[in-house]
């Protein structure tokens, strides 16, 4: 069996049998891996406290050619995320983990994905919560990591330069369009267009903790939800965001 030592981030765990856990890890070296942590649910297990969603670990795994890998050793690579200050902060911390899990196949490691998730957690730690602007930057960057970044400079249909103050979004195509082509589309407020421009350029940590006015949050959240739904296989609205209730439901109509 091959031995792998890699910086890792815990995406989630599942119980296995009476006393074990399956840990789903995003590893720097090999992307998403599922590994059995034997006995991790025993009360005296030292590993139990490490396998929290979002925990930054150094993992040593036995890689098996098929089936689940095995955890050999785990150690903390950094402190556990501090307890979230409220439900929204918790949801925005869990959502990036869930998005990576939904949109990444076992053994798949798109270049930049590990560093992107690290950056999201750096933003969370720096600002006492990642905040909506940085979370949206994470979603935009997730599209870029998969080669699906969105085009805001030119109309997706006719190719003309776009005026950021007169931007439309076509839900069916999930593209930005000029007023002439995007007549049926969603009319984006200038503040939403500004936000979309900002998040398409920077890493999440550059916008750490920055709040967004509710109308911008709803509109940009909806655009990103539609773009991710249309373009990124496996994507669906994270359950963690769903728990914020209909007021935060990005699928809701304006
Ligand atoms: Zn056009």
Q: Per residue in 29-85, pLDDT tens?
A: 999 999 999 999 999 998 988 999 999 999 999 999 988 999 999 999 998 888 888
Q: Are residues 149 and 199 in the same domain?
A: yes
Question: How far apart are the CA of 168 and the centre of ligand 1, in A?
Answer: 10
Same domain, 61 and 120: no
Single out the residue in 76, 96, 120 at which a domain terminates: 76
- Residue 57: give its domain's CATH number: 2.40.50.140
CATH code, 182: 1.20.1440.120
Same domain, 62 and 104: no
Number of domains in the chain: 2
Q: Which domain holds residue 166?
A: 87-248
Q: Could you tell me the distance, in angstroms and rounded to a whole number, from the CA of residue 151 to the centre of ligand 1?
A: 12
Q: What is the CA(182)–ligand 1 centre distance, in A?
A: 7
CA 136 / ligand 1 centre spacing (Å): 25
Distance in Å, CA 164 to ligand 1 centroid: 13
- Beta strands (DSSP E) in 166-221 are 168-170, 175-177, 186-187
Within a domain: 108: yes
Instruction: Specify whether 119 is located in the same domain as 150.
Output: yes
Percent of the chain surpassing pLDDT 70 = 96
* Beta bridge partner(s), residue 59: 6, 74
Residue 15, burial from CB neighbour count under 10 angstroms (0-12, 13-18, 19+): exposed
Closest C-alpha to 37, from 9, 2, 76, 72: 72
The reply to whether 253 falls in a domain is no
User: What mean pLDDT value characterizes the chain?
Assistant: 92
CA angle 107, 112, 114 (to 5 degrees): 60
Taking the whole predicted model, whether its pTM rises above 0.85 is answered as yes
Domain end point (choices 30, 49, 76): 76
Res 139: pLDDT: 97
**Is there a single domain that holds both residue 180 and residue 133?**
yes
Question: Which residue, 253, 37, 26, is CA-closest to 120?
Answer: 26
- Asked whether residue 104 is assigned to any structural domain, the reply reads yes
> 189 CA to middle of ligand 1, Å?
18
Would residue 141 count as lying in a domain? yes
Is residue 249 predicted with pLDDT exceeding 70? Answer: no
CA of 227 to the centre of ligand 1 (A): 18
């Amino acid at each position: 069996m091959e031995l792998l030592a890699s910086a890792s981030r815990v995406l989630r765990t599942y119980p296995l049998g009476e006393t074990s856990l399956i840990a789903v890890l995003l590893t720097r070296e090999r992307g998403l891996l599922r590994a059995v942590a034997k006995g991790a649910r025993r009360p005296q297990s030292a590993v139990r406290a490490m396998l929290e969603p979002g925990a930054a670990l150094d993992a040593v795994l036995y890689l098996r050619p098929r089936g689940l890998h095995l955890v050999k050793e785990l150690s903390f690579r950094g402190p556990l995320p501090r307890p979230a200050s409220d439900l929204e902060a918790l949801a925005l911390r869990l959502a990036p983990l869930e998005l990576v899990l939904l949109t990444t196949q076992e053994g798949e490691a798109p270049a930049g994905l590990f560093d992107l998730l690290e950056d999201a957690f750096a933003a969370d730690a720096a600002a006492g919560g990642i905040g909506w602007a940085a979370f949206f930057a994470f979603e935009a960057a997730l599209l870029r990591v998969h080669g699906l970044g969105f085009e805001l400079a030119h109309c997706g249909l006719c190719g003309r330069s776009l005026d950021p103050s007169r931007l439309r979004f076509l839900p069916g195509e999930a593209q930005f369009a000029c007023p002439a082509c995007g007549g049926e589309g969603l009319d984006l407020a200038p503040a939403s267009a500004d936000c979309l421009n900002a998040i398409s350029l920077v890493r999440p940590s550059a916008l750490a903790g920055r709040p967004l006015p509710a109308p911008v949050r709803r509109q940009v959240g909806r655009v990103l939800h539609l773009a991710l739904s249309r373009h990124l296989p496996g994507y669906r609205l994270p359950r963690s965001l769903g728990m914020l209730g209909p007021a935060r439901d990005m699928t809701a109509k304006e």
